[in-house]
Amino acid sequence: MTAHDREPVRRLSRPLFIANEIYHHSNFGPKHPLSVPRVPATIELCRALGWLPDSVFVESGPASPAEIVRFHDPEYLQALRYGERHQDLPEEARERFNLGRLANPIHDTMYSRPATSAGAVLTAAELLASVDSGTIYSPAGGTHHGRPDRASGFCYFNDLALALLRLKDLGFARILYLDFDAHHGDGVQDAFAGDAGVHTVSIHEEKRWPFTGALHEDEGGTACNIPVPRGLRDSEFVLIVEEIVVPVGERFAPDVLVVQCGADALADDPLSRMELSNGAIWSAMARVSGLAPRLLVTGGGGYNPWSVARCWSGVWATLNGHEIPAALPAEAEAVMRALTWNRAGGRNPPDHWFTTLADLPGSGAVRPSVQSLVEAAHKLYVKD
């Protein structure tokens, strides 16, 4: 019996938010892009807005080694545990596993933190398998670059690959994966290339690391890639979602939808040149959330603490149907004013980062280059 055939047990009455205290304490090092407080700030902001009662908050534990090796090489696992314990690795292991480098440094939670984010999405998969419909949010997840035998792009494990494998093991026959990160979801795509039961869709900035995900890169019909030009506007993102993502999703008719909601496509992010407002992300989330009865949403990229916390809090609001306030109440504003960022953009942050949740909507009509991209993608992937 597949999950699709399983008798429904119940419906989650409200979306669940999964996180862990470890995200308050782990340290990538002062110069690493992930040294900023992202998940803790999101939790504190949601609580300050009255959106995160204890009844919907789930404390996640770490995935076990046996669970992690469902996707990852056991020797790689051992190297991560050794590196965390000794805060060092032999050069051979550094080279082999891409550890101790600028992007993937040795740090005090280099094993336990990604194991915890993996544990969260595995818990989410189990919960979704026990219901006929429901939504789960794990903003610490979304490590879509991780490889079976090495770290890649700040990602030590690939928690999304682990989640998709768990969903498959639980009997789900049709899983749709959407990736809104500014960087191509290469690790997830490669993990499921040619797997007819998993369809991956990625909207990402072209000519940006990892330099994969070309328009015609469809992995035998199991992947859909939309590489967008720099400066992507809200109007263009909405068009892509409406003309490509939604039709692809409706045609695939998934049992489960998994969305990687990186916040690095926002205009205020330092590691991309896309120009989206957080409202465009929320609009897309609202539009795609009905594509499947079960929904798992994770975080992903995003390296400006104010824009990430505001965006991911708004994602949680969208999943719950909460109204976005015109101005943040005093307690929520205090959360924003307490954040710091050791980059030029953090020295004199604009006042709206402290006082509002929603960005001003992006301006500008759809450019001819994006219109042409959508038409080409439509011919490749929608095929009416």
What are the tens digits of pLDDT across the range 111-161?
A: 999 999 999 999 999 999 999 999 999 999 999 999 999 999 999 999 999
In the predicted model, residues of the chain with pLDDT beneath 50 are 1-6
What domains can be seen in the chain, in order of their start residue? 16-382 (3.40.800.20)
Q: What is the pLDDT of residue 21?
A: 87
pTM above 0.85, yes or no: yes
Q: What is the pLDDT of residue 384?
A: 64
Q: What is the pLDDT of residue 226?
A: 99
* DSSP assignments along 20-79, one per residue: -GGGGT----TTSGGGS--HHHHHHHHHHTT---GGGEEEPPPPPHHHHTTTS-HHHHHH
What is the Cα–Cα distance from 176 to 294, expressed in whole angstroms?
11
What are the tens digits of pLDDT across the range 35-47?
A: 999 999 999 999 9
What residues act catalytically?
145
The secondary structure of residue 158, as a DSSP letter, is: -
Q: What is the pLDDT of residue 9?
A: 54
